[in-house]
Structure 1
Amino acid sequence: MLSLPFATIRRTFRHSGPWLLTAALLLALLPFFALAWYSHPSSDDFLLANGLHEHGLLEYQRYMYLNWTGRYTSVLLWSLLNPVAYEGWQLSYRLLPVVFLLVTLGSFYVLLRGLLRSSVPKRGLWLGSGALLLLLLFQLPSTAEGIYWVTGIYNYLLPGVFALLLLAILARYAGSAAPPARRRWLVAAMLLTMFVIGANEVLALPLLVALGCFTLLRAWQQKRLPLGYSLLTTVAALACAVSFLAPGNYIRMANEPQHFGIAKAAVLAAAAAAYCVINWLGNGILLAITLLLAPLSARLAQQPGLPLNQLTRNPLLISAFLFGLLVVGFFPSFWATGMPIPLRARNMLYLFFLAGWFLQAHAWIRYLLHQGWWPRQPVPAYVPVLLGAWLLLAFVTDHNLRLRGPEQLANSNNSVLAYRDWLGGAAGRYDAQLTARYQQLQATPANTVCTVSALREPPFSLSFLDLSADNPQDWTNQEYAKFFRKKEIRAIVQP
């Protein structure tokens, strides 16, 4: 008798659930799109624009490779698509976060369509894509460095999104029987692999390891070397060599204060990966959504030809692989600089963890189903109702449950924080302060010493790195002054 009200609620949700879920997703995602209107350049945006103005497009690629970084994809992106380097940059800078969010949403849809084919209707695929976008933004380590900072977009999250598209392309390649179609998908995978690896070494090394391990696994299963995957792994290795062996990388490493050996860097990387996994799962959001999706996952597991099922044959291997890739992602920074990766790079690792978490969950459900250990009785009606109510409460309230560590607001509800910065006025004040600063700098004669106001209470969701109020010779102040053609810019803290 107690389950009757819950059963009624469950039946009601089945009829109106898609519309309610759509409305909830729109409300939760709205502040992230709204905050784009208040976004402004910071730090590297001016540095990179100055470099492009100084060297020109082609010479700038050569200069960066020889003197600064082997990220050939990112350098090309911020050369061609950095609004700060061109006229009208204030408006176009605000449009880029919106474009990026829409591209991410579309990429999630392509990924789900590639893995699920026609097993889920288009409306369900779009809802799933919106839910993945919200889960990504909900506890992204830093929205300021990931969404509203152009340099962060091109170096980290956008290549990570394209890496997920690579997964969808590989699923199409594996599922194609006709040789011409397989060749087309293989060429597309090679091109996208070169693009992704050239964006960031934190992404490049795990991708190379993943492709290499998968190729060896297929060779062991088929008792022969798979030509397509071997070619793809070779392309990845060559792209990594071009990126890693750039002279600019070693010039930057020489300026770092400390380096760790391989063994110590590996131990620290494993500890950092474990810390992040516990934090990302600690609030229970991903666990609750996994339980709600378990019945759907069990139904999909019974379709043997589904690309999703072909990709998730070995749950233990996927779980170990997921954690191992996180460790590999943390390793280069500890080895090269003796420091953990910054939040902007951790954004990218969280994107991979999010996708990998649901893949491994499906793999384990599929394994339990095939072993006959999956419960045959349907889940009581009150279980999904209570889980759904708890998720709703979690998404409309703020929290800050985390392990001890230096991360500010780790594991917080970014959706609530974004609403607070937007509707609470912090974003508007941030926009007004920087707009007034630009007007002051443009009205001041060139080659003069300018004094501007330091930002007061910048919004956590938007602001990344501003002028130094303590040191006018700080590199951020110098690049700011160079961009606005000033001799020096000093920032003072107003009372």
Structure 2
Amino acid sequence: MTTSSPLARSVSFLLLFFSIVIALPLIALSFYNHPSPTDDYCFANTSMRYGFWQSQQIYYDGWSGRFFHNFLVHGSPLTFGWYAGYKIYPIVLLALLALSFYAFASQWLHNPFDATVKLALAAGLFVGFVATLTSLSEYLYWYAGMACYSLSSVFLLFLLATLLAHKRSGFGWHIGYIAVESLLILGIIGSSETSMVMVMSVLGLLALGELIQRRRLSFTTLTLLVVGAIGCYYLISAPGNAVRMGSNPNSRDIPLTLLSSLRFAVGYVTRQIFLTPLLPLSLLYIPIAYRLTANRPLPAYLRLHPLLALLHGSATVLVLISLHFYAVGIAPAYRLVNLINLVFWLSWGYNLTLWVAVLRDRIHPQLGQRFVRPVAMGALVWTGLSAGFGPVLPLAYGDWLSGRAARYDQAMQDRYNQMTQSGTDTALVTPLPVYPASMFMEDVKEDPKHLWNRCWADYYHKQTIVLQDNPTSPTH
């Protein structure tokens, strides 16, 4: 293992600094977070009325086969009346995300890189992913969204890290590796259909590489495929899925799905390339990829033809985009795009590495030595500006430093006091004075019969909740 150069240490330090700048307001906002009327109270009510295990069966049979998601949401802090849990879990999730990025980077760059370069890669991925989240509130502060989508992204990174470590040890029948990989696969598949496609794409690429290079599948790969198939079966065959799909008249329109997905994909890829830190971080990664592909023979996963990997990555992103068009008939929800972003970035980095491996004999790094430092510094400035003007930082710092999050927190506390102290069956609440978009999903509705109102009313043993008119418009 070689010692990092002063330039590499500088890049690592600055990327780590960017990560802290991004994480700081997200941690601060966590202390003002609250359960959302969107689903959180409904899941809690079901669990409290029918019990933890029976509630999962009710949802599996009546609405969703997402067995791991159902497991988490029916054991939410709200079922115990633990409101402080909603201020803790976003910090835990953020820490797990950072740790999973480092676990992946550490295994991807296992040799011959030291911790400085691994930290730089992990920090770069963290900055690129978190600073460009399409919906911060749905990824970090909404418990039901965390259980359905966010945690599966963390599991995917840990799965990739485990697979890389397992590959390096020979990918044989190691019960510890296989047990961890199987649990992560089932957790990802049981989170959502989007997560299912995400992880099965990884297993499919693994199997495809073995078939091309060895003309057969290893026993380990077969085992993981069987585990994945079992998870997919229980997710897809759930009676509740038919109920949910049947409730939408625009679902299963294949021509609409294909045309809409292709149209969406063109704009999506363009935005990812030109409106995120993807390009400057790619410039910083190319020297790492050059060193990574120096030792021959390359590991099996780096010997795949780049055109095949490009086809795989493009197909995976397109399928992920098409899922929402197929199920609902409209573009992917922001919480789905958050996951698509992660898959796109990981696929981009993998393809970039394969192209460097193919073209490295034509690359003469000594010719560009004089430009390395200015290019690296320029890429870092570009990354900082792109992240700073992206969708997350202005929103998060604005809600925190302006006091909007604090006023929202106080208004929610006042509502809780009002709900618990009111002795009538009808609770009258006024609109919130602020709606901090970084962490706020939805409020109760003007219609007392709306599901969010009914779930919140049931939680506090009320007949109904009425949102009173307020002449003062809330601040967003």
Normalising by structure 1, report the TM-score.
0.88
1:56-95 matches, cutoff 5 A: 56-80=51-75, 82-87=76-81, 89-95=82-88
Give CA deviations for 1:190-209 in whole Å, capped at 9, x if unaligned.
23212211111111134324
1:173-184 matches, cutoff 5 A: 173-177=166-170, 179=172, 181=174, 183-184=175-176
Letter in 2 for 1:419: Y
Question: Residues 216, 357 of structure 1: CA spacing in aligned structure 2 closer, same or farther, 3 A cutoff?
Answer: closer
Counterparts of 1:75 and 1:120, CA distance in 2:
41
Question: Residues 326, 489 of structure 1: CA spacing in aligned structure 2 closer, same or farther, 3 A cutoff?
Answer: same
Question: Residues 311, 73 of structure 1: CA spacing in aligned structure 2 closer, same or farther, 3 A cutoff?
Answer: farther
1:202 aligns with 2:180: no
Counterparts of 2:11 and 2:45, CA distance in 1:
51
Q: Which of residues 448, 461, 464 in structure 1 aligns to 2:441?
A: 464
Deviation at 1:330, TM superposition (A): 2.4
1:129-278 matches, cutoff 5 A: 129-177=122-170, 179=172, 181=174, 183-278=175-270
1:108 aligns with 2:101: yes
Deviates more, 1:112-121 or 1:99-108: 112-121
Counterparts of 2:394 and 2:298, CA distance in 1:
37
Deviation at 1:394, TM superposition (A): 3.3
Give CA deviations for 1:170-207 in whole Å, capped at 9, x if unaligned.
222222238453x4323332232122111111111343
Cross-structure match for 2:21: 27
Deviation at 1:241, TM superposition (A): 1.1
Deviation at 1:36, TM superposition (A): 0.6
Normalising by structure 2, report the TM-score.
0.91
Deviation at 1:318, TM superposition (A): 2.0
1:115-134 matches, cutoff 5 A: 115-134=108-127
1:330 aligns with 2:321: yes
Deviation at 1:491, TM superposition (A): 1.3
Deviation at 1:210, TM superposition (A): 4.0
Question: Residues 384, 208 of structure 1: CA spacing in aligned structure 2 closer, same or farther, 3 A cutoff?
Answer: closer
1:46 aligns with 2:24: no
RMSD: 2.3
Counterparts of 1:267 and 1:220, CA distance in 2:
32
8 A Cα contact 1:219 1:226, kept in partner: no
1:449 aligns with 2:426: yes
8 A Cα contact 2:15 2:127, kept in partner: no
8 A Cα contact 2:262 2:318, kept in partner: yes
Letter in 1 for 2:295: Q
Deviation at 1:375, TM superposition (A): 5.5
Counterparts of 1:337 and 1:17, CA distance in 2:
44
Counterparts of 2:443 and 2:383, CA distance in 1:
36
1:11-22 matches, cutoff 5 A: 18-22=12-16
Q: Which of residues 406, 415, 427 in structure 2 aligns to 1:437?
A: 415
Deviation at 1:125, TM superposition (A): 2.5
**SS of 2:84's equivalent?**
helix
**Which stretches of structure 1, 4 residues or more, deviate above 6 A after TM superposition?**
none
Deviation at 1:92, TM superposition (A): 1.2
Cross-structure match for 1:378: 368
Deviation at 1:164, TM superposition (A): 2.0
Cross-structure match for 1:339: 330
Deviation at 1:162, TM superposition (A): 0.5
Question: Residues 369, 475 of structure 1: CA spacing in aligned structure 2 closer, same or farther, 3 A cutoff?
Answer: same
Letter in 1 for 2:383: L
8 A Cα contact 1:115 1:306, kept in partner: no
Aligned length: 464
Question: Residues 166, 22 of structure 1: CA spacing in aligned structure 2 closer, same or farther, 3 A cutoff?
Answer: closer
Give CA deviations for 1:274-325 in whole Å, capped at 9, x if unaligned.
3222212222511011112212221121023675x73463222222222211
Letter in 2 for 1:368: L
For structure 2, list consecutive stretches of 5 or more residues without a partner in the other structure.
none
Give CA deviations for 1:394-414 in whole Å, capped at 9, x if unaligned.
344x3xxxxxxxxxxxxx331
Deviation at 1:104, TM superposition (A): 0.8
**SS of 1:90's equivalent?**
coil
Give CA deviations for 1:187-244 in whole Å, capped at 9, x if unaligned.
3322321221111111113432442354244223312343321222222122111100
8 A Cα contact 1:273 1:323, kept in partner: no
For structure 1, list consecutive stretches of 5 or more residues without a partner in the other structure.
1-10, 399-411
Counterparts of 1:207 and 1:391, CA distance in 2:
29
Counterparts of 2:257 and 2:381, CA distance in 1:
43
Aligned residues with identical type, % of pairs: 27
8 A Cα contact 2:166 2:177, kept in partner: yes
Question: Residues 16, 236 of structure 1: CA spacing in aligned structure 2 closer, same or farther, 3 A cutoff?
Answer: closer
Deviation at 1:459, TM superposition (A): 1.2
